[in-house]
């Protein structure tokens, strides 16, 4: 979401979108969904559609700006189709965008913002950091500055001077390294005495005095500085508390008086409206009794309605059965069918008799033929033998 906001600022969305629609600037987590942040899905979805349509137009494709009362499914479908046309990967359902926030909303807007930046020929470059010039160490004129005159005064009074080992080390590093023998050999035999005039010495001291200033740089990690800051803050809190305590006491008195007035007024109103409250309570009790009676009566009506429906259903069944029996008793169609069946049965009996007669005649002829054949065979077997031999 933060990357998307940077890209929108590069595209000057404040002037082209926010100022045009009279909207507030987006926060760093506007489209990020979380249970710990307040959300307004309707407002976020409308803002998403407005920015998406503007980015699509900025990327070089014509896209009509959606209105507040348009179909959200159609709007989301059009935006995803444009994203696919740019080559974006859409592997999530469109319903994820209707919430107006979440990972997929940020992805769609970020992808469209990249296309708009490409259309405007924008390229990311490495940042050029400005070269920081080293500031000259300012010589602070404070108590930490150690001058030669102060050193002399402390030496005369007898106050020991605390010199940091760092300065001793720097002094030793600046002095040329001499061997032990050279140092012993360089020791004078007698006590050295100065032949320089005191006035010339003072002039030389005044000349080199600015170069002999030792600046002690304060360390912010030193506990003494924190203690001083604590004391300063403590004094500031005390002074501020003295001023604010009077205002707070006055405010407390005013609030107490106001609460007393409100309490007395409340008691007066309760006393004035006591009879109305009693009437209201009695009316409430009567209303509850009436509701209870109504519920009981409505329960009995429901039960009787159910019984009536069952009786009506049974009555309809009885009527239907009576109609069927009446129609069957007054209708002559069954008698006609019986007569037709009898006529047909008689015709079939006549045909059957004819067939039986034909079959009996055929059987009689077959018996007669068989009998004649048997008789002929019997006569053929009784022929005399001489006749057979002459043959």
For 332-369, how does the pLDDT look when each residue is reduced to its tens digit (9 = 90+)? 777 888 889 999 999 999 999 999 999 999 999 999 99
Chain segment 72-85, per-residue pLDDT in tens:
888 888 888 888 88
Closest CA to 28 of 43, 12, 57, 8: 8
Q: What is the pLDDT of residue 217?
A: 62
Partners of residue 146 on adjacent β-strands: 214
β pairing state of 145-146 and 214-215 = antiparallel
204, 210 in Cβ contact below 8 A? no
Interatomic CA distance for residues 216 and 151, integer angstroms: 14
* Block mean pLDDT (10 aa), the chain, length 391: 86 83 82 71 85 87 82 87 85 83 87 86 74 50 45 43 40 43 52 74 84 64 80 91 88 93 90 88 92 87 90 93 80 81 94 93 92 87 53 42
Q: What is the pLDDT of residue 218?
A: 60
CA triple 146-151-155, angle to 5 deg: 155
Q: What is the pLDDT of residue 360?
A: 93
Residues 6+ apart with CB under 8 A from 39: 33, 100, 101
Q: What is the pLDDT of residue 34?
A: 65
Burial class of 80 by CB neighbour count within 10 A (0 to 12, 13 to 18, 19+) = middle
Chain segment 194-243, per-residue pLDDT in tens:
677 888 888 888 888 877 766 656 666 677 788 888 999 999 998 898 88
Interatomic CA distance for residues 294 and 300, integer angstroms: 10
Closest CA to 45 of 62, 61, 30, 63: 30
Q: What is the pLDDT of residue 2?
A: 85
Annotate 61-94 with DSSP letters as a single string: ---PPPPTTS-HHHHHHHHHHHHHHTT----S-G
**pTM of the predicted model as reported, rounded to 2 decimal places:** 0.35
Partners of residue 207 on adjacent β-strands: none
Interatomic CA distance for residues 51 and 8, integer angstroms: 9
């Amino acid at each position: 979401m933060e990357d998307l906001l940077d890209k929108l600022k590069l595209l000057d969305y404040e002037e082209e979108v926010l100022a045009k629609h009279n909207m507030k600037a987006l926060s760093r987590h506007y489209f990020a969904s979380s249970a710990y942040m307040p959300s307004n899905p309707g407002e976020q979805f409308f803002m998403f559609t407005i920015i998406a349509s503007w980015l699509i137009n900025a990327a070089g494709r014509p896209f009509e700006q959606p209105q507040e009362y348009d179909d959200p499914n159609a709007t989301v479908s059009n935006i995803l189709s444009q994203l696919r046309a740019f080559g974006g990967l859409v592997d999530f359902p469109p319903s994820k965008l209707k919430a107006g926030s979440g990972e997929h909303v940020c992805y769609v807007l970020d992808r469209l913002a990249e296309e708009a930046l490409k259309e405007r020929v924008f390229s990311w470059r490495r940042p050029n950091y400005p070269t920081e010039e080293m500031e000259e160490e300012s010589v602070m004129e404070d108590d930490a500055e150690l001058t030669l005159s102060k050193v002399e005064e402390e030496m005369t009074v007898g106050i020991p001077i605390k010199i940091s080992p760092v300065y001793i080390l720097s002094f030793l590093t600046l002095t040329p390294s001499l061997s032990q023998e050279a140092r012993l050999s360089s020791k004078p035999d007698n006590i050295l005495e100065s032949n320089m005039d005191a006035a010339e010495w003072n002039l030389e001291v005044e000349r080199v005095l600015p170069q002999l200033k030792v600046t002690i740089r304060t360390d912010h990690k030193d506990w003494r500085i924190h203690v001083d800051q604590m004391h300063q803050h403590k004094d500031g809190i005390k002074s501020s508390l003295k001023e604010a305590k009077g205002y707070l006491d006055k405010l407390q008195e005013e609030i107490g008086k106001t609460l007393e007035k409100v309490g007395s007024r409340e008691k007066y109103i309760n006393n004035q409206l006591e009879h109305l409250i009693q009437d209201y309570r009695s009316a409430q009790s009567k209303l509850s009794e009436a509701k209870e009676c109504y519920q009981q009566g409505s329960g009995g009506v429901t039960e009787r309605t159910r019984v009536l429906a069952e009786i009506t259903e049974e009555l309809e069944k009885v009527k239907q059965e009576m109609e069927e029996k009446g129609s069957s008793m007054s209708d002559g169609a069954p008698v006609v069918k019986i007569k037709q069946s009898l006529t047909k049965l008689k015709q079939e009996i006549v045909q059957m008799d004819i067939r039986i007669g034909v079959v009996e005649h055929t059987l009689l002829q077959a018996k007669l033929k068989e009998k004649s054949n048997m008789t002929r065979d019997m006569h053929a077997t009784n022929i005399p033998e001489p006749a057979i031999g002459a043959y």
